[in-house]
Structure 1
């Protein structure tokens, strides 16, 4: 039973994945899925540059987890995959269902891309994403406005689809069942007709009843892609991505006074006023019975590539994105000391988003001052129509232990349309100063015309909160990479970024009609591997300063914070101790704080405080041992440590540190079929994963111990 190895995906300057013929197309005898493995610093890393640079040649930190590792570690979502990489954490409530934190920043300061495309602020547009359809999750650390426009101060998360292959035809299967009614199903494959046409189709579905009563979730993702090569100099790729999801309606567990919590949940939160969590409320759902969160999005994309000469390439990438999203919930749960009940609100919001865009570039490789040089120059344009309707019906109060779910009530809201036209020009250049030294530079200039309108509940126009503005930004970066004997590569870089000063640009009001904030990062580091490539390591140190900012401290409440500074270090390594024993580990330290900052929501001086949901320390360790006792058996596991974080800007409520342990085993039933089993959160650790600033009276608790079994196959 012949199998094809994982596809080698090459991604253009836009980050769009198109399959390439490579050594990975050669057939192998057995399935190759493992939780820990060494990586190649020579791997092409498109998220960090449009120049086709390898990880070693890039003067930045780029972390990648591929499909085999995601399946081997049992990661069903992008969030789980990203969390295993250095210094990355994720969380969010259903109102912000997929939020990332890195290098001291979170929310809209982390840009989330799909195949290199930006569709809007992550806390407004991002959705939980299945991993079966993906080739990789790639994370670029630090400001990336020079590549992707406004935002991207802390970094970029790029989700890359699997693409068609002209190699051996392949069929992939995945099926797992687990605790809390969890299922994960996927089927996909690629084939080709001669050397002119290749196609790929992947469909996956995840579902769960949820560990909180009545808060199940499910999602379905389908991607189809076709590559046509009508001539040696032309390549055309058409992709269609469809996602439909119904995320969990669990918005958190409310804090209560210590005097009320007869069974306190210890080691999870600490508060200066003595509030805590009650074990009796850990799995209680306080949402209404007809709560619903739903999203549906369709995304056709067309890439055309023309290479008239070996030193000259033209690319054009056109796309259209449409999404409908809705939330109908009771979202805020606050303990009332007078009534000893939980007070609930009501909130609903509907989104309709249409985005059309086109990116074009030309790449030329030649000599500059008699030195080898490669340059990319191009344009990026997109037009957005975003309609948002929302309302706040009256709330009620329910019993803390046996809440009457009740119903949501009438839907009466106000309308807020947003339009923008965003045009930019950019360039990147790499100059080989010597055979060992590369100078990498880039620049981008954006003009964003924003039209933001608000209407009252009676339909009348709200001139006081509406505004129009043209934002102009210029960002740049410069970096140097020096390779010593092909095994040690130190680098240094300086990068700038610009983004909106306050909340995400989709919901900005006239009170936020300011110019863009400015940021810059200095980063130094080293990338190294042993001559036999059995071990590799990366080390980076950074210093980021973001100035002229507003911080969202509550619903529709923003406060001037002046600045935020973040310094830190990240270390990652992989080691193949024997042919069958591999270890992967990473750790990160982050020191971040606000400058002058008075919270107008509370009146407190929060100058020098640490932003919410940012741990100082994180660490991950994965190991796997295969061919145990000469059997086709692999056993492994992972350990994840998250340090203490704060739940608010005042740092009065902290989320305690925690360590999670996962274990797994896999057994090859045949060369292309593997049986898997795993236990997550082995010691059933209770922990707080996230604290949403919109809901300061509650925290999101993490999943308890769970188990699953499954089958993975490639034919």
Structure 2
């Protein structure tokens, strides 16, 4: 059964936070111990870019901000950008081909989360934020709750930012990696300085797959960047990144067993003999080609004033050729295949973002400002050919060979369906004023002007006109107060707002989803505390939040043929994270999150009946997400580590009639410093070979990866 915990954000909760039994420290210098493979806790004093444009440290920011750096990424053996999210409190995820960037955070999912790449959203995050191999990633940052004031619409549940490696001023480096196992990898990073020029190249290729990806997978990434010091206060960086991925016979899911009435109800059940069985056509595929180009100009006008500008271009081509739905029939003795889709996405984004920051004193109070603009043009054309089927019935354990272009109704070629042109112009500003010693007020505001034009290339109908145009003018913001109880212990409170589409994504939404609709409105109240303890050998953060999202689209209970923007969804919860090195040889971390998400006002159509889902939990939203890691430096050259992840109960549908219980995953690793600059790492993921669902559906579940192993060697010089 689902565990319910009730609380309200109130003065009582605030008092409990202020009275938290933390051994907060004052000005004791940080004690650093150099031990191979580990790093002393110092996250609270880092300055991530995702939570603010003011250069605030994590402890100065009135929000829950997670920072996962390169050392963390290597420590857990993260394979891709989603794998890194294990270390963000409360986040769950999956990468099924039809929605490869499925992320759930604070009770909200894809369309209500902003998934950024180097601070840029291509406004199609549920697809475009497909996991990328982790080699080219420098760090991942996340801020929980409404954050549209930073990066625009689509961030009620939070924002996640993947920051890639780029040429910097940290000196020359060479880092190579070779890995074998279920996936094979060859990677290289090189940086060299030539006078006032710095050149960097990051290259990576992987091959092979675990059974939940497909029959085979190949990918490569090539990132080149060139930093030029144009003067003592002016620099320019040109960064170009190419990504390629091809998955043969992608895995789309495993069918759920049916009861005697031919229904799927209750706790999910799969036939264990179908684990690892792929029912897709043999020549099924998913492929993508992505190009990123960024021109970054940074200019220090004075010691107190900085100006920066980023011009960028994103180009993506994604192709799908698959049979995607499989169902048990004939008393769970055969599997029926249906829903063939030939699809192409052709997307281009151009953008310009300028920022100015200034440190000032107003009325004797320290007051820092940031302001700027954000312009983008997003064009995407989709070429869908969908055939419902069904096509055949096959042996569930040895599926009959079938091929995509032999599927009835599927013909080669791409016929455009619709083109979305999305123009966004925004102005933003932030301020942090120190009101008194130990008290700082942070505010942020963003005003967007969004124009959407959807061109229909197919038959014109009453619900699909030749041209549909609409516009939105959201204004979102945040106000937060931080109080230093001591230099090492802060408490904060904040109120923030956000806006996102009532359903779907603006890059693909059309007349049916947006006619007579405005963007939804989201708001959050959050209280939290951050502290260093044990002479700064440990850090912890805790946050309590309450989020409400209004005006989402629901079926009109009085007319099931209409959709009205009056629905409401809410979420409240607690997040906790801690890192601690009690001894030089031992280091541990813990992330814990509890979420109570529900529909407050929501109707959907079931057959010919409109049914209320008020009080139900959104699909695929776990109540608990817990993770922990422990590392032991057994000898000066050998480190042993283990990590654990617990994901609580989730429902497969808004009716909450299908669910899966909690699951636990165990990872094990060993690292050996073989020689100066040479290290070997062995890792086992899902060491207990647990069968679990990464994503639940009414008929299919997308299983998580089975046990896998890898051995890698790193060479740094």
Same fold (TM over 0.5): yes
**Paired residue secondary structure (2:82):** helix
Aligned equivalents of 1:605 and 1:297: distance in 2? 42
Within 5 Å, which residues of 2 pair with 1:53-452? 53-179=56-182, 182-194=183-195, 196-211=196-211, 215-247=215-247, 249-258=250-259, 272=265, 276-337=269-330, 340-393=334-387, 395=389, 396-399=391-394, 400-409=396-405, 410-411=411-412, 413-452=415-454
Within 5 Å, which residues of 2 pair with 1:541-560? 541-550=544-553
Following superposition, the deviation at residue 260 of structure 1 comes to 12
Q: Which moved more, 1:462-471 or 1:279-288?
A: 462-471
Aligned equivalents of 2:602 and 2:631: distance in 1? 47
Query: Residue 607 and residue 79 in structure 1: after superposition, are their counterparts in 2 closer, same or farther (change >3 A)?
Result: same
Aligned equivalents of 1:364 and 1:401: distance in 2? 65
Aligned equivalents of 1:581 and 1:689: distance in 2? 31
- Aligned with 1:622 (options 629, 635, 640): 629
Following superposition, the deviation at residue 305 of structure 1 comes to 1.5
Within 5 Å, which residues of 2 pair with 1:565-584? 565-584=570-589
Aligned equivalents of 2:213 and 2:393: distance in 1? 16
Query: Residue 176 and residue 601 in structure 1: after superposition, are their counterparts in 2 closer, same or farther (change >3 A)?
Result: farther
Following superposition, the deviation at residue 453 of structure 1 comes to 2.2
Within 5 Å, which residues of 2 pair with 1:608-647? 608-626=615-633, 628=634, 630-647=635-652
CA deviations 1:2-32 (Å, max 9, x no partner) are xxxxxxxxxxxxxxxxxxxxxxxxxx99995
**Paired residue secondary structure (1:118):** coil
Aligned equivalents of 2:539 and 2:588: distance in 1? 11
Aligned equivalents of 1:563 and 1:223: distance in 2? 43
Following superposition, the deviation at residue 146 of structure 1 comes to 0.3
Q: Aligned residue pairs: how many?
A: 668
The answer for the alignment partner of 1:506 in structure 2 is: 507
CA RMSD of aligned residues (A): 2.5
CA deviations 1:592-617 (Å, max 9, x no partner) are 10022221145432111100111000
CA deviations 1:444-502 (Å, max 9, x no partner) are 0000110012232x699975485200111101110011112211100111000011111
**Paired residue secondary structure (2:150):** helix
Q: Give ranges in structure 1 of 5+ residues lacking alignment.
A: 1-27, 262-269
Query: Residue 707 and residue 375 in structure 1: after superposition, are their counterparts in 2 closer, same or farther (change >3 A)?
Result: same
**Kept after mapping to 1: 8 A contact 2:33/2:40:** no
Following superposition, the deviation at residue 139 of structure 1 comes to 0.9
Within 5 Å, which residues of 2 pair with 1:588-603? 588-602=593-607, 603=609
Aligned equivalents of 1:315 and 1:77: distance in 2? 30
Q: Give ranges in structure 2 of 5+ residues lacking alignment.
A: 1-31, 406-410, 556-560
Following superposition, the deviation at residue 659 of structure 1 comes to 0.6
Query: Residue 362 and residue 712 in structure 1: after superposition, are their counterparts in 2 closer, same or farther (change >3 A)?
Result: same
Within 5 Å, which residues of 2 pair with 1:44-55? 44-55=47-58
Query: Residue 557 and residue 122 in structure 1: after superposition, are their counterparts in 2 closer, same or farther (change >3 A)?
Result: farther
CA deviations 1:370-411 (Å, max 9, x no partner) are 211111111111111111110113530231222223122314
Aligned equivalents of 1:575 and 1:29: distance in 2? 13
Following superposition, the deviation at residue 654 of structure 1 comes to 0.6
**Kept after mapping to 1: 8 A contact 2:460/2:466:** no
The answer for the alignment partner of 1:653 in structure 2 is: 658
CA deviations 1:51-72 (Å, max 9, x no partner) are 0000010001111111121112
**Kept after mapping to 1: 8 A contact 2:205/2:219:** yes
Aligned equivalents of 1:44 and 1:54: distance in 2? 4
The answer for the alignment partner of 1:22 in structure 2 is: none
Q: Which moved more, 1:524-533 or 1:149-158?
A: 524-533
Q: TM-score, normalised by structure 1?
A: 0.89
**Kept after mapping to 1: 8 A contact 2:210/2:708:** no
The answer for the alignment partner of 1:20 in structure 2 is: none
Following superposition, the deviation at residue 273 of structure 1 comes to 5.6
Following superposition, the deviation at residue 130 of structure 1 comes to 1.1
- Aligned with 2:671 (options 666, 673, 676): 666
CA deviations 1:642-683 (Å, max 9, x no partner) are 001011111111122101111111111112111111211111
The answer for the alignment partner of 1:41 in structure 2 is: 44
**Paired residue secondary structure (1:59):** coil
Q: TM-score, normalised by structure 2?
A: 0.89
- 2:666 pairs with 1:683: no
The answer for the alignment partner of 2:11 in structure 1 is: none
